[in-house]
Amino acid sequence: MNSTFTEEDYQLIEQNFSGLRDSSRKRCANRTEYETVLKAFEFANDAHKNVRRRSGDPYILHPIAVAKIVVDEIGLGYKSISAALLHDVVEDTDFTVDDIRRNFGDKIASLVDGLTKIKTALDGSKDTTSLQAENFKRILITLNDDVRIVLIKLADRLHNIRTIEFMPEYKRDKILSETMYIFAPLAHRLGLYAIKSEMENIWLKYREPEAYKDIESRLENIDAQRSGEMDEFIASIRAELDDAGYGNSKILKRLKTPYSIWKKMNTKNLPFEEIYDLYAIRIIFHPKENYTEREQCWHIFTKITSLYPYKSDRTRDWTKEPKSNGYEALHLTVMSPGGNWVEVQIRSERMDSIAERGVAAHWLYKKNDASQQDSDFEVDNWLKKVREIIENPDANAIQFLDDFHKELTTADIFVFTPKGETRRLEKGATVLDFAYSIHTDIGNKAIAGKVNQKLVPLSQVLHSGDQVEIISSATSSPKREWLDFLKTSKAKGIVMESLRKNTKDSIGEGFRILDKRLNDRGISERIKVMKRLLAYYKCDTKDQFYAKIGIGVLTLDDLDKALRANAPANESFWSINRLFRPKQGRIDRKKEYVIGEGSDNTFIIADCCSPVPGDSVMGIIDDQGRVVVHKKSCSVANDLASKRGEKVIAVRWSEKSVSIFLTKVLIRGIDRAGLLNDLTKVISEDMSINMRKVVFEAHDGVFEGAVELYVKSTDDIDNLIRRLGNVRGLEMINRVEINQ
């Protein structure tokens, strides 16, 4: 490819930068800030001259696009815009951070330096099991330095996946896995819903392309059919708002995203036809004086519910207790005149700005509103919790990433102290977690609690609205069994540290416990076994593993499962039809491998998602050098690829495969005499498909069940579902994972 830029290239650069120039001019507070952005562009443009991306476009188009996301979609200022333009200069050219500092000052240089370290980490190639986790730990530690580094990195990742079709498949799978495991949840936690949704949709488009196209097509048809009805629905609400003095409100309508529908279909085992609230409308009002924004949200609520019936169990009030990312709104679901459920979101202009721009808008309002200066914003509280995880010196990289992922994705509850103060805890937290959230000494000395004036044990799980009191004793101290029910990372860390201090020989004790368990099973080849156990329990060293056993963090209750994890091909618990065993060879990550056709590597069909020929699949190299084949949408595969991106390879099915694969379908319908016989006749006689397991139940006239069966490809599954759809009384037939 010719690298020297042509006149068309320079025109393309100018065309792209003109949009950023306009956005920056509106965002910058003065001429000096604006000129800094222009200077950053000129610097970066010169540094990347005659350099192209994989697509063939001038490389500078990428920093321009990232900077435009930073200003338009996140709402950051001139320093962040400049850093986004410069973010690849130090890594990809001869310029240094000191060069950036001399030309743009300390803060922009600091942002670029943080982004450079992230890129260096992600592009590392050292082959270790925890490399990817170490890389992400370095990324997330920047939350301790300046959250803008992570915000710019989110913009960088968003543009990279917007252009992901130009990347080789193995790298595409790695990047999409990272995106769904860390970046999309991180965007959600930082309040960047539009970015999070776009990341999820791109993930689905490449991981489940057929499902994505099908849902997108269905949504287009629904929009064509119901658009007029929705316009009338909005018009009636508009008239009601005008009458109530909210004539300057905006009312926006939108359809649910393909990913949100796909996720609900898969997590709840529902067909598309049973996803009801496909439409949502958003009301954004300009608040009146003399009334709080929350009061006005509820005033609008009463106006809407005077027109349409609403579903009371779907009402969500985040105006009193915002989400941990600062999100505030009042949500309700109403029945439209056409008989369709519609979600309605009610927000003030301030709430909408925070919902769309996340932490950038959150801090902007905090900075500009004197009444907010000393308030304890929930997003600030979340960042405090993040820093507790980051600053834990004992967490290995994989444990760190697991803790952080859990912190990103866990829902919250609200409980009260005896004095009525609100405390936010993650869902599933116990009385003891609450005690540690107040103070370490209160947790260490706790012996029981009172929930709503009733005496309860420390293991009692809390629910939103509970009032909690801790009963303590001066002689109490942390106990190993507390680790069995503690939920929060902070509390577990405190207890583990206390147990370490009080246990003189935890490593020796752990060795003795494990040695006895292995002897009981007659296992003598300890070297091979230890490698497998360290990988399964996510420990970096044997001493760390023994110590965790010794203090009781690891109970080894699942030791048999751990011993079978990543088992060699000649061990009896691998089913013969689940394993392809050609000659073993060196794996080239840049090569695409064909499953079951003269390949020189071992392929194992993953039990977690049970892919069959026709499914979109990816390969992940395990510790024995074999390739485990997962569906691209498998959550386990996304987890593994996020932590071990260097182990991802591209695989595809052989067109000549004659193997059989286990799959499962759920069936629901109206019970009648002979229904089961009709089902099994279609499966066994008409389709000649072998069944492994059939489980059905009938309750109050409703027939539900599941069939596990052996198929050759997704064509068999599609044909079966189509044929079963003709059986009288059946309402739902869905393929699901084997373990569901």
Secondary structure (H, E, C), 428-497: CCEHHHHHHHHCHHHHHCEEEEEECCEEECCCCECCCCCEEEEEECCCCCCCHHHHHCCCCHHHHHHHHH
Paired sense of beta strands 330-335 and 316-317, if any? antiparallel
Cβ distance 704 to 693 under 8 Å?
A: no
- Count CB-CB contacts under 10 A for residue 425: 21
Q: Which among 33, 57, 92, 240 is annotated as catalytic?
A: 92
Residue 113, classified by CB atoms within 10 Å of its CB into exposed (0-12), middle (13-18) or buried (19+), is: buried
Specify the domain boundaries for CATH 1.10.3210.10 within the chain. 7-192
- Taken in order 132, 137, 143, 145, is the CA torsion positive or negative? negative
Contact 147, 359 (CB under 8 A): yes
User: Is domain 410-500 annotated with CATH 3.40.1190.10?
Assistant: no
Q: Taking a C-beta distance cutoff of 8 angstroms, is the pair 353, 328 a contact?
A: no
Residues 6+ apart with CB under 8 A from 292: none
Please report the pLDDT score of residue 125 as a whole number.
39
- Residues of the chain falling short of pLDDT 70: 1-2, 118-145, 324-325, 358-411, 500-505, 520-528, 564-586, 596-602, 624, 657-658, 739-740
Q: Tell me, what's the pLDDT at 388?
A: 59
Structure tokens at 195: 């970015």
Q: CA-CA distance, 4 to 13, in Å (whole number)?
A: 14
Give me the phi and psi of 414, to 5 degrees please: -120, 125
Superfamily name and number for 661-736: ACT domain (3.30.70.260)
356 in active site? no
Instruction: Please give the angle made by the CA atoms of 252, 258 and 261, to the nearest 5 degrees.
Output: 95
Q: Which residues is 562 bridged to in the sheet?
A: none
User: What angle do the packed helices 31-47 and 7-27 form, to 10 degrees?
Assistant: 150
DSSP designation for 639: H
Burial 694-704 (b: 16+ CB within 10 A, else e): eeeeeeeeebe
Q: Which CATH number fits domain 210-357: 3.30.460.10, 3.90.1010.10, 3.40.50.1820, 3.40.50.2000?
A: 3.30.460.10
What is the C-alpha R_g of the chain?
Answer: 28
CA neighbor of 369 nearest in space, from 308, 287, 260? 287
What whole-number distance in Å separates Cα of residue 12 and Cα of residue 32? 27
CA nearest neighbour of 142 among 192, 195, 186: 186
Q: Which tens digit of pLDDT belongs to each residue from 217-243? A: 999 999 898 888 899 999 999 999 999
For 36-119, list the strands marked E by DSSP. none
Cross-sheet strand order for the sheet of 691-699: 691-699, 702-711, 661-670, 730-736
DSSP string, 351-379: HHHHHHHTHHHHHHHHHH-GGGTT---HH
Residue 157 CA, chain-centre distance (Å), reads 14
For 19-34, the three-class secondary structure string (H helix, E strand, C coil) is: HHHHHHHHHCCCHHHH
260 three-class SS: helix
Which amino acid, one-letter code, is at 406?
Answer: K
Query: Helix or strand or coil: residue 279?
Result: strand
Query: pLDDT tens-digit profile of 104-121?
Result: 999 999 889 888 876 655
For residue 535, the one-letter residue type is: A
Q: How far is CA 67 from CA 44, 91, 139, 196, 724, in A?
A: 12, 17, 19, 18, 52
Q: Is the pTM of this model over 0.75?
A: no
Q: Please indicate whether residue 91 is annotated as part of the active site.
A: yes
Q: Which tokens go with 320?
A: 């009193």
In order, the DSSP letters of 207-257 are HSHHHHHHHHHHHHHHHHHHHHHHHHHHHHHHHHHHHTT-TT-EEEEEEPP
Give the three-state DSSP class for 503.
coil
- The 10 Å CB-count burial string (b at 16+, else e) for 648-678 is bbbbbbeeebebbbbbbbebbbebeeebbeb
Give whole-number Cα distances, 667 to 689, 720, 732, 736, 739, in Å. 16, 12, 6, 11, 16
pLDDT reported for residue 577: 37
Q: Which CATH number describes the domain made up of 7-192? A: 1.10.3210.10
- Cα torsion at 584, 590, 595, 600 (round to 10°)? -20
Domain(s) of CATH 3.10.20.30: residues in the chain: 410-500
> Residue 357: which residues within 8 A CB-CB, separation 6 or more?
73, 74, 75, 191, 192, 364
Phi-psi region for residue 556, left (φ > 0), alpha (ψ -120 to 50) or beta? left
HSE-up (13 A, CA, CB side) for residue 609: 21
Report helix, strand or coil for 390: helix
Which one of the listed residues 33, 57, 91, 597 is annotated catalytic?
91
Helices 131-145 and 106-122, interaxial angle, to 10°?
A: 170
Cα angle 101, 384, 197 (rounded to 5 degrees) comes to 80
Torsion angle of C-alpha atoms 282, 288, 291, 296, degrees rounded to 10 = -20
Q: Where in the chain is the domain with CATH 3.30.460.10?
A: 210-357
Distances (CA, A) of 629 to 131, 590, 652: 21, 16, 9
